Amino acid sequence: MAAMQSAAVLGLGAVSLGRADAAERPFVPAVVVGSGYGSAATALRLGEAGVSTLVLEMGRLWDRAGEDGAIFCSMLQPDHRAMWFKARTEAPLSSLLWMDLVNRDIKPFAGVLDRVHHGDMSVYVGRGVGGGSLVNGGMAVTPRRGYFEEVLPRVDAGEMYGRFFPLANRMLGVNTVDRTWFEECESYRYARVSRGHAQRAGLRTTFVPNVYDFGYMRREERGEVPKSALSSEVIYGNNHGKRSLDRSYLPAAVGTGNVTIQSLHRVRSFRQEPDGTYVLTVERIDELGNMLGTTEIGCRWLFLGAGSMGTTELLLRARETGVLPRLDDSVGHGWGTNGNVMLGRALHSWDRTGSVQSGMPALGIDNWDDPVHPVFAEIAPLPAGLELLTSLSLAITRNPERGSFSYDPAADAARLHWSASQGKPSVEAAKALFDPINRANGTVYRHDLFGDSRAFEDRFTYHPLGGCVLGEATDDFGRVRGYRNLYVTDGSLIPGSTGVNPFVTITALAERNIDRVLSEDF
Ligand code: FAE
């Protein structure tokens, strides 16, 4: 497989970023901020159209092996590579038997996973060239058409399901697990056990496609190739097997000859010049967080793909500091958690889940048709390397609550407003699904996994969505209202919920929007 190809293919350094005065200021036709799903799709299509494009990513390029010969560290032995400038890891499952056995002290570094704290809610995001694709579970789910139409009613669903979802799936390298192998392999025993429990409660499960190469995973199980998914790798990066964006869209974008990616470049702010061009203020940092300097870069077309949290902050700062006063009032609204709740159930001794668990989920409990509490629950691994007799789930629920952002001038940062009570609908829905599963199987919730005695963890999300909602803060194709040649191209366009894991939707929507923008605005 095309592993470890990133550095050369991504061809860094082709644009030299000079001093900050206008005469010397580098100018590129298009800038894309961030290098996650929306950005990667946008950069590729710009490059193919012959538009010289610079991608600015605040995280590092994950191309160099550490002293242990691996690019990423494993979940079981996290080190400085694990997290974005933290002194201690902040894993979603923070305790076992109420003991602080999971997290480790680490050296602050430009690591791959960030947990951004905002009062009662914290948000996990990927940092690096490839954004969330570096850390996520690879679950590549096309949402139900009916729900998609409800969430984004102004988007032509026929075109999405006929053209852009298939395109996104193809480009991302989505594949499905071989059913025969799934039924007999050791590494999905945990999923089969949970499926059995769901079925006993009369519930339906469904196979979930993934961008992890299932052929590679089978060879891992046979001991033929270095292990990744079967070696507790997920959330802090996968050394093999996963088709993250640095192995799909981004090399293709750079391969057009028109796209350059600069890592460790954090866009601080941007303004518009009287001639309508944009000037970005960009901080260059090193892997230890030292500031190397600030640079200005000019561009004609500016695409914001810094993720729901990053893009919303950039636009909010621009509006609230008076730099882009015509930005719509809806910027900073319509944010949601995709109804995320995590929970674990303690199983009987005969329900062994296995000490080797694939880090890439392949099954979900699909109860989205429930009229009161629709839930799509991913059967998640607990790859601790030992038998824990536990079934872990990440439930995606239909939570109507929405958060909003305000600008804090003292910190020059966006603050998310989301109160603990807003997680209640998610917890109720997860309970409505898993209480009957427990009853049917004589199992109970674990209360020792999330730092206190709660069974349902709704204080974090993996799926931040919204903040610059399509058709509100932007037009129906991501053009930011009030300003020409300024676009949003990431999860912030989606109003808080997709009903399934979101990256396929984010990618397909970005493909649709850039297709229209290239034909009308260039
Ligand atoms: P995203 O991928 O977050 O990329 C934004 C990029 O912009 C990042 O690389 C940032 O470092 C960068 N950035 C931010 N601010 C700046 C700035 N000021 N200057 C320069 N760069 C900046 O955005 N989704 C699924 O569909 N399936 C899964 O199995 C799944 N599992 C997940 C597991 C974990 C642990 C996590 C954290 C997420 C998971 N997700 C999953 C969510 C998915 O990764 C996420 O929805 C997408 O990555 C969001 O894509 P965006 O393009 O919006």
C-beta separation of 417 from 403 below 8 A: yes
In the reported structure, the alpha carbon of residue 463 is separated from the centroid of ligand 1 by a whole-number distance in angstroms of 8
User: Ligand 1 centroid vs 307 CA: distance in angstroms?
Assistant: 6
Cβ of 139 below 6 Å from ligand 1: yes
Residue tagged active-site, from 197, 265, 333, 463 = 463
Determine if ligand 1 sits within 6 Å of the CB of residue 36: yes
- Residue 4 pLDDT greater than 60, yes or no: no
Backbone angles phi, psi at 510, to 5 degrees: -65, -40
Residue to mutate (ligand 1; options 501, 504, 507, 511; most atoms within 8 A of CB):
501
pLDDT at 23: 63
Is the pLDDT confidence value at 308 over 60?
yes
CA dihedral 386, 193, 449, 114 (to 10 degrees): 80
In tens, the pLDDT along 336-365 reads 999 999 999 999 999 999 999 999 999 999
At residue 303, φ and ψ (nearest 5 deg) are -110, 120
On the question of pLDDT at 493 being above 90, the answer is yes
- CB neighbours of 304 closer than 8 A, spacing ≥ 6? 33, 34, 310, 311, 314, 315, 468, 480, 486, 487, 488, 489, 490, 492
Question: Which has the minimum average pLDDT: 19-28, 127-136, 146-155, 259-268?
Answer: 19-28
Q: Does domain 7-65+87-521 have CATH number 2.40.40.20?
A: no
Q: Please choose, from the candidates 112, 89, 115, the residue with its C-alpha nearest in 3D space to the C-alpha of residue 102.
A: 89
- Phi and psi dihedrals of 456, rounded to 5? -115, 120
In 184-264, the DSSP E strands lie at 205-207, 259-262
Q: In this prediction, what percent of the chain has a pLDDT beyond 70?
A: 96
pLDDT at 464 exceeding the cut of 50: yes
DSSP 266: E
Residue 452: CA count within 13 A, CB half-sphere? 5
**Residues 510/249, Cβ–Cβ less than 8 Å:** no
Q: What's the mean pLDDT in 76-92? A: 97
485 has pLDDT over 80: yes
pLDDT per residue as tens digits for the range 102-133: 999 999 999 999 999 999 999 999 999 999 99
Model confidence at 19: pLDDT above 50 = no
- The finding on whether 58 has its CB within 6 A of some atom of ligand 1 is yes
Ligand 1: atom nearest CA of 128 is 9
Q: What is the pLDDT of residue 90?
A: 97
Mutate to test the pocket of ligand 1, among 17, 42, 58 (most ligand atoms within 8 A of CB): 58
pLDDT digits (tens, 9 = 90+) for 161-198: 999 999 999 999 999 999 999 999 999 999 999 999 99
Write out the H or E segment, with its range, that includes residue 303: strand 291-304
Best residue for ligand 1 mutational test, from 303, 463, 507 (most atoms within 8 Å of Cβ): 463
Q: Could you tell me which residues are beta bridge partners of residue 156?
A: none
Instruction: Report pLDDT digits (tens) over 386-442.
Output: 999 999 999 999 999 999 999 999 999 999 999 999 999 999 999 999 999 999 999
Contacts of 314 (CB under 8 A, 6+ apart): 33, 267, 269, 270, 304, 306
Confidence at residue 111, expressed as pLDDT on a 0 to 100 scale: 98
H or E, element range at 513:
helix 503-521
Does 463 qualify as catalytic in the annotation?
Answer: yes
Q: Please state the separation of Cα 406 from the chain's center in Å.
A: 23
Q: Ligand 1 in contact with 414 (CB < 6 A)?
A: no
Report the first-to-last Cα separation within the chain, whole angstroms. 36
Average pLDDT of the chain to the nearest whole number: 95
Say what angle helices 37-48 and 165-172 make with each other, to 10 degrees: 90
Q: Are 493 and 468 in contact (CB under 8 A)?
A: yes
491 lines ligand 1 (CB under 6 A): yes
In this prediction, residue 24 carries a pLDDT of 78
What does the pLDDT look like over 22-47, one tens digit per residue? 667 999 999 999 999 999 999 999 99
Cβ-proximal residues to 374 (8 Å cutoff; 6+ apart), any chain: 367, 368, 397, 398, 429, 499
Q: Is 221 among the catalytic positions?
A: no
* Nearest CA, atom 16, ligand 1: 306
pLDDT for residue 339: 98
Cβ of residue 143 lying under 6 Å from some atom of ligand 1: no
The H or E element spanning position 346 is strand 340-346
Q: Which residues contact 190 (CB under 8 A, 6 or more apart)?
A: 353, 354, 357, 379, 381, 382, 391
Average pLDDT over residues 205-222: 98
Name the band, by pLDDT with cuts 50, 70 and 90, for residue 451: very high
**Å from CA of 262 to ligand 1 middle:** 17
Instruction: Catalogue the E-assigned strands of 91-173.
Output: 113-118, 121-126
Q: Mean of the pLDDT values across residues 54-58?
A: 98
Whether residue 244 is predicted with pLDDT greater than 80 in this model: the reply is yes
User: Is the per-residue pLDDT at 51 higher than 80?
Assistant: yes
Dmax (CA) for the chain in angstroms is 73
Q: Is the pLDDT of residue 265 over 80?
A: yes
130 C-alpha to ligand 1 centroid (Å): 8
Q: Out of 57, 320, 378, 457, pick the active-site residue.
A: 378
| Closest to 159 in 3D by CA, of 150, 148, 170 | 148
pLDDT at 9: 41
Residue 344 Cβ inside 6 Å of ligand 1? The answer reads: no
Burial class (CB in 10 A: 0-12, 13-18, 19+), 325: exposed
